[in-house]
Amino acid sequence: MLRKRKLVVAALVAVTALATGLSACSPASEPAAGDQALRYAPAMFPVSLDTHKYAGEEAVQTAIQQIMEPLVRVEDGKVVPVLAESWQNPDPNTWVFKLRQGVKFSDGTPFTAKDVVASYQRHQKLDGPLVPLYASVTAFTATDDGTVTVKTSKPLGTLLSSLTLLFIGPAGKVDADGFFTKPIGTGPFTVSAFLPDEKLELAANPEYWDGAPALSKLEFVNIPEVAGRITGLENGEVDVLTQIPPDQVAQVKDSKGIAYSTTPSWTYYFDWFNHNRKPFNDKRVRQALWYALNLDGTVKDLYGDLASVAQAPLAQGVIGAPKLSPYSYDPAKAKQLLAEAGYPNGFSTSMQWPLEGGPNIRALAQAMISDWAKVGVKVQPLEKERAQWLEDFGKLNWDMNLQTNVTGTGDADYTLARLYLCTAKRNGYCNPNLDKLLLDARTTIDQGERAKLYTQAGQILWDDAVGVFPADLASNSAHRDRVQNFKMPPSGRPLFTKVTVSSN
- The per-residue pLDDT for 358 is 86
Chain-wide mean pLDDT for the chain? 91
Q: What is the C-alpha to C-alpha distance for residues 349 and 25, in angstroms, rounded to an integer?
A: 46
- The per-residue pLDDT for 17 is 36
Q: How confident is the model over 465-493, as pLDDT tens digits?
A: 999 999 999 999 999 999 999 999 999 99
DSSP code for 182: S
CB distance 231 to 360 below 8 Å: no
Query: Which ranges of 46-108 would DSSP assign to H, the alpha helix?
Result: 58-64
- The per-residue pLDDT for 30 is 47
Q: What domains sit in the chain, N to C, each tagged with a CATH number?
A: 49-180 (3.90.76.10), 264-473 (3.10.105.10)
Q: How confident is the model over 202-231, as pLDDT tens digits?
A: 999 999 999 999 999 999 999 988 899 999
Q: How many Cβ atoms are within 10 Å of 352's Cβ, its own excluded? A: 22
- What are the backbone dihedrals phi and psi of residue 150, each rounded to the nearest 5 degrees, phi first? -115, 125
pTM for this prediction: 0.84
Q: Would you call 236 exposed, middle or buried from its count of C-beta atoms within 10 A (0-12, 13-18, 19+)?
A: middle
Q: How confident is the model over 180-202, as pLDDT tens digits?
A: 999 999 999 999 999 998 999 99
Kindly list the distances between the CA atom of residue 270 and the CA atoms of 77, 236, 311, 459, 473, in Å, as whole numbers in the listed order.
Answer: 22, 37, 12, 16, 11
- The per-residue pLDDT for 35 is 65
CB distance 244 to 488 below 8 Å: no
Q: What is the C-alpha to C-alpha distance for residues 246 and 361, in angstroms, rounded to an integer?
A: 11
The stretches in the chain having pLDDT less than 70 are 1-35, 504
CB distance 362 to 332 below 8 Å: no
- The per-residue pLDDT for 504 is 58
Q: How many Cβ atoms are within 10 Å of 315's Cβ, its own excluded? A: 28
Q: How confident is the model over 20-36, as pLDDT tens digits?
A: 333 334 333 444 444 69
Q: How confident is the model over 379-417, as pLDDT tens digits?
A: 999 999 988 998 999 999 999 999 999 998 999 999 999
Residues in CB range of 419: below 8 A, 6 or more apart? 405, 426
CB distance 494 to 488 below 8 Å: yes
- The per-residue pLDDT for 54 is 86
Strand, coil or helix: 258: strand
- The per-residue pLDDT for 31 is 45
Amino acid at 196: P
